[in-house]
Structure formats: structure tokens, C-alpha cells
């Protein structure tokens, strides 16, 4: 059970007002707010534990290194990975997928090969592949999305062929809220010997993820979307694949030995972590993961699902409401349009009522094209949101609708 009033007190920002109205924060898919324990962890680390990691023999450096490495182990345990060698710290999902695309393409992709993505990908899981496709000449193929907002699984199976070298797919759509059947996708791909990368930006904060049970070969997520700080993220990769992939960037910490003639690279995961890492970010991320585990991922998923169902029911009572994405398995992200009100008009007027939603294409322009729309209004929920906030959203939309 979620005690939402108690939880809300952990998040200082939720107590503030905007334009003299209580803040109703429904932009959690873009970033989540931070509990006091995460804010304190950052402050505490800078006040008491700050020194550059890995390179120092002095006390503080050792301590900061130990804290960063135990944060890595926390991430490993949180996503059910087998080894910390498979946990690479990055700046976020975008950097994780850029690293993957760059290194995987260099190691494995050639002209004539195919990488399969879907029609509901965030630009972060499209553009990095396009950049590498220009370099290496492989082809990007697209799994179509149905009217309901689900992946067309028959089309997916038909697209798998001997040229397919990787499937890279989002676990949860940041626009439609669809939870994709990644277990089935992975088992289908694996039956053809094809590895699968999963964009977990919108899944890890909301549902229990175990990369080994899923069988994922790569899995990416962002700290700031799971109540942690900005600037820190994770790429999980299967050791056997990471070992065959070249480094993404060169510099400090990713080397074993450098001469002007030849450089040998460090072991995993350091081979992929050039330069001073955001060790304070890793430490605070681990605190955020402890925090959500303290609430419980099953309790979070249960509460958010109930809130989402309540929101959909209430929104559907609004005349002219069109919800984009009605998948049978969904997460607490709802995109909608009301009559012919422009999403940015709706968003701006809701903002004046203290209600923070996101409007626009949500970095998924091909998906907007699929539905023949320019953008949507998106409300995205967290376990700290309440039914009263859903009611405020519905009342706000009604008010805006009557103005038009």
C-alpha cells in the first residue's frame, strides 16, 4: 500500500505553488522530482566525501571510489544484472544508446546488415542508429505501430531475417504509455540469434525490471527519471558482447597502458567510462534506487496503474477527448487532444492553473506522423500523484475547453 500523503512530504518541491496555485506536477515522464534523501546525499557527498575517484591513494579518493563502486553494485542488484562489469555509468539514456550504437556498429555492423527499431521510439533510439548507418551502411527497419498503439507483432516476426543484427526497442512508450512485450520480442529475436537492446527510460521507474529474466542484451535508463539526479544514467550490457566492442571515448580511466605507438584498454566496465565520471551522481542515484525499493516496485506499479485507470475514465468523460494510445498493457503516461484545441494552448492555460503537463511531439516525431498529428498534451504520473490531482487536471481541461 502506498501512503501518498507521507510520500509527498519526502519531496520538498511538491509543497510549492506556481502562479499562487498548488503545483500539480504531471510531467514525470520528462523528469521526476527528487526526495529529500537524494538532495541530502548530493550535499553530503560534496560536504564530506568529495575527491576524484579511482586515481587517488588518499583517504577521500578511496572513500569516493568505494561509494561509487557500491552504487554500481546497487544498480546491478536493482536491475538484476549478473556482474558490476556489465554496469556502465553514462549521462543518461541518450548517452547510453549513443555509446551502444557507436561501439556496436563499429564491432558488428556492415553494409547490408539491418537494425530493427520500432515506430514508437524516442529520437534517442532513432538518431544514434541513423548516424552510425551513414558511417557503416547498414539499414534501419521499422516495426509498425497499430491504431491502438501496440507493436504489430506479426510484422515484427516477418521483419526478422538473416540480415538482422540487432533489435533496439523501447520497453515503455513515452507518448502512448504502451508497455511492449519485450520478453516475447527478446525470445523471438534470440531464436534467430539476434541480440536485443532495450530503452528502459520509461520502464525502470515504474515496473520491476530484471535484465536476466528478460534476457536483454543491453538495457539503458536515466537517473533523473527515477528520482535521482540529472547527468547520470546506465547502460547494462552483456559481458560477452561488451568485451567485443571498442571504447566509445578515449581519455583517462579507460586505459590500461598508453604509449604514443599503442594503447591498451582497461577492463569492463571502465573501458567505457572515459574521463572523470559523475561519481556524486552515481552515489545519489543509488540513494534514489534505495528510496523506490523502500516503497516497493510492485506497490508503485499497482498504485500508478490504478491512478492511470482513474485518469483515463475521467478524461474519457470530457467531450471531444481523444486519447492517443489505448494499448491493453500500459503505464501511467496519457497523451491526448481535445477537439481542435492546439496542444500548446491547452498546456499554456493548464500551466496558469498550476498544472504542469508536457505538450508537443515528445521527441517522437515519426510516431506523430503515424497518427497524422503534430503533437499531443501529455500527462504522466508518479506514485506521489493523487486522484485529487487527476480531478484538478480534468477540471482544468474542462475550463480550457469551455473557453474555446
**Does residue 47 carry a catalytic annotation?**
no
Of 89 and 400, nearer to ligand PLP (C-beta) is: 89
Query: Counting contacts by CB under 6 A, is residue 92 touching ligand PLP?
Result: yes
Range 202-221, binding ligand PLP (CB under 6 A): 202
Closest CA to 153 of 133, 179, 181, 126: 181
DSSP string, 340-386: T--HHHHHHHHHHTTEE-EEE-TT-HHHHHHHT-S-EEEEE--TT--
Of 33 and 124, nearer to ligand PLP (C-beta) is: 124
Of 30 and 394, nearer to ligand PLP (C-beta) is: 30
Residues in contact with ligand PLP, shown as a per-residue x/- string from 166 to 205 under the rule CB under 6 A:
----x---x------------------------x-xx---
Shortest distance (Å) from residue 233 CB to ligand PLP: 6
Phi, psi of 98 (to 5 degrees): -65, -40
Q: Which of 37, 47, 308, 363 is catalytic?
A: 363
- What's the CA gap between 293 and 402, in Å, rounded? 43
Residue span binding ligand PLP (CB under 6 A) among the ranges 44-52, 64-72, 88-96, 317-325: 88-96
| Whether residue 284 has a cis bond before it, omega within 30° of 0 | no
Query: Which of helix, strand or coil describes residue 258?
Result: strand
The three three-digit cell numbers of residue 16, written as one number: 510549492
Residue span binding ligand PLP (CB under 6 A) among the ranges 86-94, 303-311, 351-359, 368-376: 86-94
Residues paired with 264 in a beta bridge: 257
Q: How many residues bind ligand PLP (CB under 6 A)?
A: 14
The three three-digit cell numbers of residue 349, written as one number: 492555460
Query: Counting contacts by CB under 6 A, is residue 34 touching ligand PLP?
Result: no
Of 164 and 174, nearer to ligand PLP (C-beta) is: 174
Closest CA to 290 of 31, 67, 71, 28: 71
Q: Which residue has the cell 501512503?
A: 3
Of 105 and 235, nearer to ligand PLP (C-beta) is: 235
- What's the CA gap between 266 and 378, in Å, rounded? 43
Of 266 and 380, nearer to ligand PLP (C-beta) is: 380
The three three-digit cell numbers of residue 227, written as one number: 528520482
Closest CA to 346 of 268, 306, 398: 398
Range 299-338, binding ligand PLP (CB under 6 A): none
Residue span binding ligand PLP (CB under 6 A) among the ranges 49-57, 61-69, 87-95, 100-108: 87-95
Which one among 222, 376, 380, 382 touches ligand PLP, defined by CB under 6 A?
222
Which one among 32, 94, 102, 266 touches ligand PLP, defined by CB under 6 A?
94
DSSP string, 187-256: HHHHHTT--EEEE-TTTTTTS---HHHHT-SEEEEEGGGGTS-TT-EEEEE-HHHHHHSPPSS-STTSEE
Residues in contact with ligand PLP, shown as a per-residue x/- string from 113 to 142 under the rule CB under 6 A:
---------x-xx-----------------
Query: Counting contacts by CB under 6 A, is residue 98 touching ligand PLP?
Result: no
Which residue ranges make up the site for ligand PLP (CB under 6 A)? 29-30, 92-94, 122, 124-125, 170, 174, 199, 201-202, 222
Residues with catalytic roles: 363
Amino acid at each position: 500500500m502506498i501512503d501518498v500523503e507521507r510520500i509527498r512530504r519526502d519531496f520538498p518541491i511538491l509543497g510549492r505553488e506556481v502562479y499562487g496555485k498548488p503545483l500539480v506536477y504531471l510531467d514525470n515522464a520528462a523528469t521526476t522530482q527528487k526526495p529529500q534523501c537524494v538532495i541530502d546525499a548530493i550535499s553530503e557527498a560534496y560536504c564530506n566525501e568529495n575527491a576524484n575517484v579511482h586515481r587517488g591513494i588518499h583517504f577521500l579518493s578511496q572513500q569516493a571510489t568505494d561509494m561509487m563502486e557500491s552504487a554500481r553494485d546497487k544498480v546491478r542488484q536493482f536491475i538484476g544484472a549478473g556482474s558490476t562489469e556489465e554496469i556502465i555509468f553514462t549521462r543518461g539514456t541518450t548517452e547510453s544508446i549513443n555509446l551502444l550504437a557507436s561501439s556496436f556498429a563499429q564491432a558488428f555492423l556492415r553494409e547490408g546488415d539491418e537494425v530493427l527499431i520500432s515506430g514508437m521510439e524516442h529520437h534517442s533510439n532513432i538518431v544514434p542508429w541513423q548516424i552510425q548507418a551513414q558511417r557503416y551502411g547498414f539499414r534501419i527497419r521499422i516495426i509498425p505501430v497499430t491504431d491502438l498503439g501496440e507493436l504489430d507483432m506479426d510484422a515484427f516476426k516477418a521483419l526478422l531475417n538473416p540480415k538482422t543484427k540487432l533489435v533496439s526497442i523501447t520497453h515503455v512508450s513515452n507518448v502512448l504509455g504502451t508497455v511492449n512485450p519485450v520478453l516475447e520480442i527478446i525470445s523471438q529475436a534470440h531464436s534467430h540469434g539476434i541480440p536485443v537492446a532495450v530503452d528502459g527510460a520509461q520502464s525502470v521507474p515504474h515496473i520491476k525490471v530484471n535484465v536476466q529474466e528478460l534476457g536483454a542484451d543491453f538495457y539503458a535508463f536515466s537517473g533523473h527519471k527515477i528520482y535521482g539526479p540529472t547527468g547520470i544514467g546506465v547502460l547494462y550490457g552483456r559481458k560477452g558482447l561488451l568485451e567485443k566492442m571498442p571504447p566509445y571515448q578515449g581519455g583517462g580511466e579507460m586505459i590500461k597502458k598508453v604509449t604514443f605507438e599503442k594503447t591498451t584498454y582497461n577492463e569492463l566496465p571502465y573501458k567505457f567510462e572515459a574521463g572523470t565520471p559523475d561519481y556524486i551522481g552515481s552515489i545519489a542515484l543509488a540513494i534514489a534506487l534505495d528510496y523506490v525499493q523502500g516503497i516497493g516496485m510492485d506497490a508503485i506499479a499497482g498504485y500508478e496503474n490504478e491512478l492511470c485507470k482513474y485518469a483515463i475514465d475521467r478524461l474519457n468523460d470530457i467531450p471531444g477527448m481523444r486519447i492517443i494510445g489505448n494499448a491493453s498493457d500500459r503505464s501511467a503516461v496519457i497523451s491526448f487532444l481535445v477537439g481542435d484545441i492546439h496542444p500548446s494552448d491547452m498546456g499554456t492555460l493548464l500551466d496558469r492553473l498550476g498544472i504542469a503537463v508536457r505538450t508537443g511531439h515528445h521527441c517522437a516525431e515519426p510516431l506523430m506522423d503515424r497518427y497524422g498529428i503534430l503533437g499531443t498534451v501529455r500527462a504522466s504520473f508518479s506514485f506521489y500523484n493523487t486522484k485529487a490531482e487527476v480531478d484538478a487536471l480534468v477540471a482544468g481541461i474542462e475550463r480550457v475547453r469551455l473557453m474555446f
